[in-house]
Amino acid sequence: MRQPPRLRTGGLFHLYRLRALAKDMTMQSVEIKKDIFWVGAVDYDNRDFHGYSLSPQGSTYNAYLVKDEKNVLFDTVSAKCAGTMLCRLASVLPPEKVDYIVCNHMEPDHAGALAQVVERCKPEKIFCSKMGLQSMKGYFDISNWPVQAVQNGETISIGKRTITFVETRMLHWPDSMVSYIPQDKLLISNDAFGQNIASTARYVDEYEPAALLQAIKEYYYNIVLPYSPQVLKALPVVEGLDIDMIAPDHGLIHRGKDAVQRIVDIYRTLAEQKTQRRAVIIYDSMWHSTERMASAIASGMEEKGVPVRLMSLKKNHHSAVMTELADCGAVIAGSPTHNNTVLPYVASTLTYMKGLRPKNRIGAAFGSYGWSGESPRIIHEWLESMGMDMPVAALKQQWAPNKDCFKACHAFGGAVAEALIQKCGG
């Protein structure tokens, strides 16, 4: 039988093929400044980043190409998007013309495609932070790669431009750094200032403002929150630079001085975590008793003038709870007692929340039970271990709530609301 012709994969043929693919599949680059191109990938299918739900839309892995005397690629994409990125890259210049690759961060959503890109581009140098060198060695065999670890604040020249590398350790990995190009007033910020948005839009001004703000809060509260002290230290550094564009590695680009100032201000507000006069009640329920307690607690809070949102953990992912927490100064959590402990959705949400280290919150716990009744105490201790103020004792109800229980729940909600109002200062 006649065999199909083998595809040639090297040299010029490969470049033409990449270019043809780029054109056919609209995998075109986007010029974000003169001779600076977005060459990333939109991943509409990703639904999870280490427990952070990206439903319903996915994410975008941004990579940027600067054309100068040295052509520089900043970051790559996840391994499965390597072909897409190379197509976009090939729409600007042959991949083998990339001289330098900068790896601002080695997490595989940005460095997963690195081996394929190095193989294709054969760069003269690969730059990363000192900590990045350690993680790069952990992920890849780099014995033949021309890797150069840079110092914090080190500047290299690429022709008409320079690049200054600024370490942002633990924002959010030890290796994290950002790259600043003063000639273009451009900060390539890696994970900082990003959002998990999958869209054909490339800039924040192309997106609906309320949805954008929600995406920024979601990203911050599910990724960046534990590193808020580092954010508060980094923001003055960013404000000290002359920047009119922040290009993150996820989502949309902040273009223009106003947009830059806006995202810096949003980050400062999110990082400060000032107590807000609003509450969220999270709960799971077996036979609706804890659910009915939750409603009565909410009515007690509303009566005191505190807006409150009820979130059933059967219907709301823990990522959505964290996003809601961005606007809440109080968390009231409830679970019936099941097998001498809390229900699984409650346990997973509290585990996730504790890891993200929210600050300046008030907590309270409640739940129904049949015969042993441990869950309110367990939740109370869990919230307390997160450093939350616990102004009221845990509330529990045996079997179904009755009239007295609803009164107690109402009073419980009112007491939490009063404590919250006092903590907010008025």
The reply to whether 250 belongs to the active site is yes
Closest separation between CB of residue 223 and ligand FEO, Å?
7
Beta carbon nearer to ligand FEO, 88 or 110: 110
Beta carbon nearer to ligand FEO, 145 or 173: 173
Do you find a cis peptide bond into 318, omega within 30 degrees of 0?
Answer: no
Q: By the 8 A CB rule, do 179 and 72 touch?
A: no
Which of the residues 50, 141, 242, 404 is marked catalytic?
50
Q: Is 410 in the site for ligand FEO (CB under 6 A)?
A: no
Dihedral sign computed on CA atoms, order 306, 364, 354, 294: negative
The reply to whether 338 belongs to the active site is no
Beta carbon nearer to ligand FEO, 135 or 397: 135
Residue number of the CB closest to ligand FEO reads 107
Closest separation between CB of residue 194 and ligand FEO, Å?
7
- Cβ atoms within 10 Å, residue 248: 22
Beta carbon nearer to ligand FEO, 110 or 278: 110
Q: By the 8 A CB rule, do 360 and 273 touch?
A: yes
The reply to whether 239 belongs to the active site is no
Closest separation between CB of residue 44 and ligand FEO, Å?
17
| Residues in CB range of 249: below 8 A, 6 or more apart | 40, 61, 62, 63, 75, 104, 105, 109, 110, 188, 189, 190, 191, 194
The reply to whether 218 belongs to the active site is no
| Residues in CB range of 104: below 8 A, 6 or more apart | 74, 75, 110, 128, 132, 176, 177, 178, 179, 188, 190, 249
The reply to whether 219 belongs to the active site is yes
Among 14, 67, 202, 250, binds ligand FEO (CB under 6 A): 250
What does the per-residue mask of binding to ligand FEO show for 332-361, with x meaning CB under 6 A? ------------------------------
Which of the residues 52, 110, 167, 172 is marked catalytic?
172
How many residues sit in the footprint of ligand FEO (CB under 6 A)?
9
Q: What are residue 167's phi and psi, to 5 degrees?
A: -70, 140
The reply to whether 107 belongs to the active site is yes
Q: What angle do CA 100, 105, 106 make, to 5 degrees?
A: 95
Closest separation between CB of residue 125 and ligand FEO, Å?
22
What does the per-residue mask of binding to ligand FEO show for 88-117, with x meaning CB under 6 A? -----------------x-x-xx-------
Among 75, 191, 218, 291, binds ligand FEO (CB under 6 A): 191
Which of the residues 43, 75, 99, 191 is marked catalytic?
191
Beta carbon nearer to ligand FEO, 103 or 298: 103
Beta carbon nearer to ligand FEO, 28 or 116: 116
Interaction site with ligand FEO (CB under 6 A): 105, 107, 109-110, 172-173, 191, 249-250
Residues involved in catalysis: 50, 105, 107, 109, 172, 191, 219, 250
